[in-house]
Structure 1
Amino acid sequence: MEIIHPNISHNRIRVAIFDFDGTLSLLRSGWTQIMHALMFGELNRTPRHEDTTVLDAFITDLIYSTSGQQTIYQMMRLAEEVSNRGGMPDTPQEYLRIFTEELLARVNERIIAIESGANTPADWLVPGALEFLQALAARGITCYIVSGTGEDFVRDEAALLGIAPYFAGIFGAHADYKNHSKKIVIGKLVAQHALQPGELVTFGDGAPEIADTKAVGGIGVGLATDEEKRAGIHPQKRAVLVQAGADAIVPDFSECAALTAYLFG
């Protein structure tokens, strides 16, 4: 656990917000490779594309800097970058369809493995997630999921992983994406609970939820999860989270006692 800002307001937290993919769930691990392949294929066909090494690095930075946004915004950015290089882009909605179709094929295999008993829900949870949720429940903390993934998917997958009962509400992406951003949802929860500075903590592996939480006086804990190795810090995630204003960085929830001590004193 890396503490960036040690002087937070201890023992004032009443509400906790969690991102879903990469923060609690690993069912979508590998999504970055799928998105990278889609973006590389589209951009590499444009008239003014960079060489392979430069383009590869550009796409990697783009993906991690926009991680946590609703996926449609990443597809909008892809269409914009295709145009910038002299290409004729598909619509962001078509890019989203292609990406989602490929990702869901992988996710569905994992869901079937859980439902058949070949895997357990714990196999697809970020390490320590269930124990940490139990620790927050014991303290009476009200928890929510706020995700950039489609809300129906998040609800179904949270139930499959056995963590849905720990949340008072689950919010995800909608077709009406402009009215369902993380910033809007966080603002509504702050108003609903009349939260004062230091009474909200957010856990996430993307910049939006951390920055939006800090903007309303909350505490931001960055999950720099390495979703493939399932251990250690992912350096690119860490850099983005620190820049977004994270107060602390953790690789997962395995250091439950240390994280609880930091947040609650």
Structure 2
Amino acid sequence: MTSSKSQTNTKIKAVLFDFDGTLSTLRAGWEETMTPMMKEAIAGSRELSAEQAAELDREIAAYIDQSTGIQTIFQMKWLAEQVAGKGWNPRVLGEWEYKAEYNRRLLQSVNARIADLRGGRLDPSDFLMKGSISFLELLRENGIEMFVASGTDHPDVVNEAEVLGVHRYFEEIAGAPVGRADCSKEKVIGDLLEQRGFRGEELAVIGDGKVEIRLARERGALALGIASDENRREGVNPVKRDRLLAAGAQHIAGDFSNREEWREWLGLDQN
């Protein structure tokens, strides 16, 4: 557990979750899909020197690290710019074409996992962060409204929440709008504060990426980081921890297993 300041004294009335890497690990390993695809697209058939290849690897790794949590289309826009800018690959595609190829590759593993879940060969607990269901139940018992905002395409995040059996907890699940480069997280936070009438201090935002943490701090919401180890589904990932601290997370945990810790952060009565 990491805290950057004392707990809030205001009871939280609404919680907005990121989804992938925060609750769900169905898409764990997405970086291992995106990295080689970006390298292939940028280099094309060009034979890179060892120095060029190493530098490209560093650039891609740095970009993926700092862009975690944003809508995929913006990552693909960066890729299109890199392909054009480097000039190594004469075949420059548009960001939507790159996104389609990335989704095709990623969904091969995601859909295999979903098939195993639907077939009963795996259990939802195999793809949920430790303590997730208990934590969602705790929030529901305390009358806290729950929402999801994700950079994953809307139909996919809705489907994956249903497959994992967590969709029933949420008032709204908002993924990236298909075919549009809009930030679902920014919109949902804005709607919660401006249309649903929550005050900033009544909203907690929980996520494993810099985007939602930064947005929470900008709007006066409580920013809670999940420095998740997506392979183990518990414990603290030190790389994510450092990233979340830099983004301004007020408290950080690796999972949801410590109920009393979460109660304290959210200002819930102890019982």
So what's the TM-score if we normalise by structure 1? 0.93
Kept after mapping to 1: 8 A contact 2:130/2:255? yes
Counterpart mapping for 1:1-265 below 5 A: 1-6=1-6, 8-45=7-44, 51-87=52-88, 88=90, 89-264=92-267
| Rounded Cα–Cα distance in structure 2 between residues aligned with 1:230 and 1:60 | 22
Q: 5+ residue gaps in structure 2?
A: none
| Rounded Cα–Cα distance in structure 2 between residues aligned with 1:61 and 1:181 | 24
Residue 117 to residue 175, structure 1, CA distance change in 2 (3 Å): closer
Kept after mapping to 2: 8 A contact 1:145/1:169? yes
1:210-254 deviations in whole A, cap 9, x for unaligned?
111111100111111121233332233222211221111111112
| Rounded Cα–Cα distance in structure 1 between residues aligned with 2:121 and 2:179 | 37
Kindly provide the amino acid, as one letter, of the partner of residue 41 in structure 1: E
| Rounded Cα–Cα distance in structure 1 between residues aligned with 2:55 and 2:251 | 31
| TM-fit CA distance, 1:9 | 2.7
Q: 5+ residue gaps in structure 1?
A: none
| Rounded Cα–Cα distance in structure 2 between residues aligned with 1:183 and 1:228 | 28
| TM-fit CA distance, 1:131 | 0.8
| Rounded Cα–Cα distance in structure 2 between residues aligned with 1:72 and 1:240 | 21
Taking only aligned residues, the RMSD between alpha carbons, in angstroms, comes to 1.8
Kindly provide the amino acid, as one letter, of the partner of residue 33 in structure 1: E
| TM-fit CA distance, 1:60 | 1.5
Q: Quick check: 38-47 or 251-260, which moved more? A: 38-47
| Rounded Cα–Cα distance in structure 2 between residues aligned with 1:155 and 1:262 | 28
Q: Quick check: 226-235 or 146-155, which moved more? A: 226-235
| TM-fit CA distance, 1:156 | 1.2
1:87-108 deviations in whole A, cap 9, x for unaligned?
4421111110111001111011
1:137-175 deviations in whole A, cap 9, x for unaligned?
111000000000011111111111111111000100113
| Rounded Cα–Cα distance in structure 2 between residues aligned with 1:110 and 1:48 | 35
**SS at structure 2 position matched to 1:171:** strand
| Rounded Cα–Cα distance in structure 2 between residues aligned with 1:134 and 1:215 | 28
